[in-house]
Structures are given as C-alpha cells and as structure tokens.
C-alpha cells in the first residue's frame, strides 16, 4: 500500500467518523429544544454534551480535509481554494461543492458559537440554525461523493440516522420548542415515596 | 429523577465516535479500492478518447536496398 492509498483510507475513515460525531451533535442540539432526551438527562447535561461534541466532529472534519490534500491524486485536481469556494473543482464539482459549502457554514457556526456572548442573541440563533442546512449539505456531499455509500452496510446506517434526524428536525420546525410545562408533562410521574421525600433545598432550609 | 450525568453522556458520545471510527476503519480496510467510488481521481474512468490510426507510414529517407531490373 502506497502513501496515497493510505491517505485515501484515512480520509474516508475520518469522514465517516466526523459524520457520526456530527449526528450526535445534531441530536443533542435538537434535544435541547425539543425535549426528546428529557427522559434520559437534564437539559444542562445535554447542553454540556452538545458543546462537548464540537471537540469531536471539528477535528475529525479538519482531518478529513487534511488527509484528502495529502493524497497526491486528489491534490493534483483539487486546489486549496476549492475547499472554500464551492462548485469550482475540476471534477465532482457538485459533490465537492456541497462539502465546501457545508465547511463554510460550519466554520461560521463554530466561530459564532465561540463568540456567542459578544453577538446579538437573535442573530446568533439564526446563524446557529444554519447548522441544520450544513448537516443536510454534508449528507448530500456524502451521498454524491462518498466512496462507501454504495455499500449496504454503510448506507443502511447512514440513511437510518439521517431519517431519524430529519424527522426530529421537521418536528422541531413544525411544533417549535416545547415549553418547560409541556416538557414536565411528558415526564413520568414520580413515585409516591419519592414525592413525599423532601427536596434537597427543603432539607437545606431546615 | 436527576437523569444521566453530563460526564456519562460525554463518555457515550466519545464511545460512539470511537466505535464509528473503528467500524469504518475495518470496513474501509477491507474495501480499499471501490470501482463505484465517484470521486477518487485515480479511480475515475478515463475521459480522453484514444484515436486509432494507421501505424505504418511512408518515409522520406533514402532506400537502403535496390531492386535489379533486367
């Protein structure tokens, strides 16, 4: 196996791993607003996980691009500018362009995420919503250009995850954010012995 | 119910990502070259058409043999 083949393998592996981490990030992000993981954990824990997943998918996504550029076969036809400016590549311009566009959007979302406290809340929210578009573009990029999408093993997992996330995203768009009251109604009622137990705050007050 | 703590959720996210990495490494390792891969330049079908033509042509150089005419 030569170096180019090795880089090609690493690019594919990092791309698939980045997609998995991105799916977790999207799921936790959706859960924050739709209470879909309310049965599992508090919103605070889900938020912490959502922020943490950026440390997983961003490096993997960067590695995907770096490994591609280290493959001399790809480097010969893909320029650095093609990573930023979409639909200009000499081959596979649609598939690669969708990847470039999603990269641009993710960079924007990541930077504004770190600068959240310095940005107007409404502007930040609208910019952050672009991550839904970016995820859809990543899926199309993988569908049109992914080397492993033709295999049933990979495509079954990817299509299933994408379908779940699409349904949750559409539900989020259709019904908006569940209020705290609705979220509580969805939770199971606490058992009688737990209900009678005084809360930690009450015990502290005593 | 206090639910699953944040560290456990983060650990699960890391585990799932590592699992995806290991799984994809195993799969890609077994399928290094995929003919149906749409983007890899070295696997793309050749776009240049080969034109076939006559391989033997006439020359302008002096002949090295001669034919006797009786």
Mean pLDDT (chain B, rounded): 79
ipTM computed for the complex: 0.79
User: Which of B60, B20, B62, B33 has the alpha carbon at shortest distance from A24?
Assistant: B20
For residues A109 and A172, what is the distance between their CA atoms, to the nearest angstrom? 19
Q: Give the residue from B5, B22, B42 with the most A CB atoms within 10 Å of its CB, the best one to mutate.
A: B42
pLDDT of residue A199: 46
Q: How confident is the model at residue A193 (pLDDT cuts 50, 70, 90)?
A: very low
Question: A91-112 as b/e, with b when 16 or more CB fall inside 10 Å?
Answer: ebeebbbbbbbbbbbbeebeeb
Q: How many CB atoms lie within 10 A of CB A56?
A: 23
- Residue A5 in this model has a pLDDT that exceeds 60: yes
Please identify every stretch of chain B with a pLDDT value under 70, giving residue numbers as ranges.
1-2, 34-38, 40-51, 54
A120 touches chain B (CB under 8 A): no
Paired tokens of A181: 């009251």
Three-state secondary-structure class, residue A79 = coil
Model confidence at A206, pLDDT cuts 50, 70, 90, reads: very low
Once rounded to an integer, what is the mean pLDDT over residues A156-172? 89
Q: Which residue has the tokens 């859960």?
A: A31
Name the residue in chain A with its Cα closest to that of B17.
Answer: A21
Q: What is the pLDDT of residues A76-125, one digit of tens each?
A: 778 888 888 998 887 788 999 999 999 999 999 999 988 988 989 999 99
3-state helix, strand, coil in chain A (%, to 5): 80, 0, 20
pLDDT at A23 over 90: yes
> Measured between CA atoms, how close is A48 to chain B, in angstroms?
6
Q: Which residues of A touch B42 (CB under 8 A)?
A: 4, 73
- Please list the residues that pair with A139 across neighbouring strands: none
Instruction: Please compute the mean of the pLDDT values over residues A167-171 and round it to a whole number.
Output: 87
Question: How near does any CA of chain B get to the CA of A33, in Å?
Answer: 17
How far apart are the C-alpha atoms of B17 and B24, rounded to whole Å?
10
- Nearest CA distance, A175 vs chain B (angstrom): 25
Instruction: Select the residue of A41, A76, A188 nearest B3 (Cβ to Cβ).
Output: A41
Check B17 against A60: CB less than 8 A apart. Answer: yes
């Amino acid at each position: 196996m030569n170096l180019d083949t090795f880089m090609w393998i690493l690019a594919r592996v990092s791309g698939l791993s980045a997609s998995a981490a991105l799916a977790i990030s999207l799921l936790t992000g959706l859960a924050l607003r739709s209470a879909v993981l309310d049965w599992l954990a508090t919103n605070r824990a889900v938020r912490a996980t959502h922020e943490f997943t950026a440390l997983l998918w961003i490096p993997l996504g960067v590695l995907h691009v770096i490994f591609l550029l280290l493959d001399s076969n790809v480097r010969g036809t893909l320029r650095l500018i093609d990573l930023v400016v979409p639909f200009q590549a000499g081959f596979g311009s649609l598939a690669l362009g969708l990847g470039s566009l999603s990269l641009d959007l993710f960079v924007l979302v990541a930077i504004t995420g770190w600068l959240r406290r310095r940005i107007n809340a409404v502007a930040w929210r609208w910019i952050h919503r672009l991550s839904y578009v970016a995820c859809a573009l990543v899926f199309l990029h993988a569908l049109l250009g992914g080397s492993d999408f033709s295999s049933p093993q990979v495509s079954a997992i990817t299509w299933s995850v994408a379908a779940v996330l699409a349904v949750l995203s559409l539900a989020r768009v259709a019904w908006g954010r569940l209020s705290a009251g609705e979220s509580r109604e969805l939770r199971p009622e606490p058992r009688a012995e737990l209900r009678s137990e005084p809360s930690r705050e009450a015990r502290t007050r005593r | 119910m206090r639910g699953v703590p944040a560290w456990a959720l983060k650990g699960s996210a890391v585990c799932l990502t590592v699992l995806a990495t290991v799984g994809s490494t195993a799969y890609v390792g077994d399928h290094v070259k995929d003919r149906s891969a749409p983007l890899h330049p070295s696997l793309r079908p050749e776009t240049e058409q080969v034109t076939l033509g006559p391989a033997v042509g006439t020359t302008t150089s002096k002949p090295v043999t001669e034919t006797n005419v009786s």
